[in-house]
Chain A
Amino acid sequence: MFTKEASWGSPVRNFLIQADTTYRGLFGWLNWFGYISNVIFRPVVLVLIYSVLGRFSGSPEVGRTYALGIACFTMAMNILPGIAQCYTYDRTGGTLSFFFASPANRLESYLARAVLHYPNGLLSFVSTMVTAWLVVGIDFSSVNWGGFILAVFTTALSIAALGEFLGPFAIAFRDWSNIQNILVGMMLVFSGVIIPLNVFPVPIQEFARLLPITNGLVSIRSTFVGAPLAENSGYLIREGLTGLAYLALGYLGFGLFEKVARRNGALEQESL
């Protein structure tokens, strides 16, 4: 056994290796076909459907609202399953056992699993917006770029945090990805992407405000039409806090589900 002094590596280097390994080793869409179809093509198709639909309503405002909502939703469509795969494939591939049997820093590994999925979400947002501009003619002339970019980055972070919250469930529940897909679908309905929040009963509106996107989207939409960030900064702060809460809860879940897996033999059953 090496002495601690001789072996202790740089946390940053170890973090980056873990981010790279969990991404390249476990992200199921990391091949040309999977990546282009899921990260680029699917969001483009989705935004075309909804933006064209919005255009037929006769109001350019509806088309813009849909385009921005769908652009946010496509971030969730890419980030959430991507992070989930880091957990499900780690478990089904048997590598998670070796991770749990190691003295790995759990927080480092927990955060590393999300890092490279974050830019994927941003990429799908960009490809969706470019499509909306080229095909539907969304007007970018009055965008408050600083506020808009900050709102998009914060919303993407909040979505990644939800991914980190949901992912560890896969450690203890074998069929978790199916349940997670339903949750992603629910976001389309409840987070104000297509359907305005105020059409729902108050309890559902309150629930919706606990989801990522719901608050951030208000800031994204307002800054897109040139409003100063301060106008809806409360929403953006709430979006950021929602993300932080999911991140913290997710980390607790990561530790909890490791214990659950050790107690109920979930990883053992996977290998049968």
Chain B
Amino acid sequence: MSAHLSLEQLLELREPGVEPGTAEARAHLDGCAACAEEFRRLEQRAARLRALPSLRPSRDHWRAVQARLDAERRRRRVRWAGVGSVALAASLLAAVVVRDLAAPAPLEASTELGSVMAQSRMLEEAIRAYGPEARVVDGYTATVAGELEERIARLDRELESSQFLEDAERQDVMVQLWRERVGLLDALVDVHLASASNVGL
């Protein structure tokens, strides 16, 4: 081999394993001072890259990571509790409707219950579609969203226990709780929207 080695060939010589033509290139390198010098510079450049100072973040990010993990755990809890209470409330609502059909009575409360449950579902779907768990949020948003999710989880537990109430007060209590749930979900949507607009999404 008479011509000097190309940069690609020199780079190839740094790779483990034997590529076709490597032995020939290696032989050339051993006998050519110019290519040996170029190879040495290549090695030095890589060594200098490895010796660059280690860069450090300007602040601690562990709390933000923790906040995201906590939010995800709460969200999972809310989702399961929410699904459970939606199913429960739906079956209760169906039971109420069947009962009311059997013994006609005013349907206002059950109609309202159906309406707030639908609103709650719509807001939950909107949040799910936005996918907050896949997004990076600032500490403030994570804290506020976390508090709202915690309150929703508490409401869901109250909704589950409301099934043990007397028929007479159960519907009113459930309507009230589902209204509160819609209010909290609404606030959660606002928090995520504000966060998204802050980062220009």
Whether A and B are associated in the same complex: the answer reads no
Chain B residues with CB under 8 Å of chain A are: none
Chain A residues with CB under 8 Å of chain B are: none
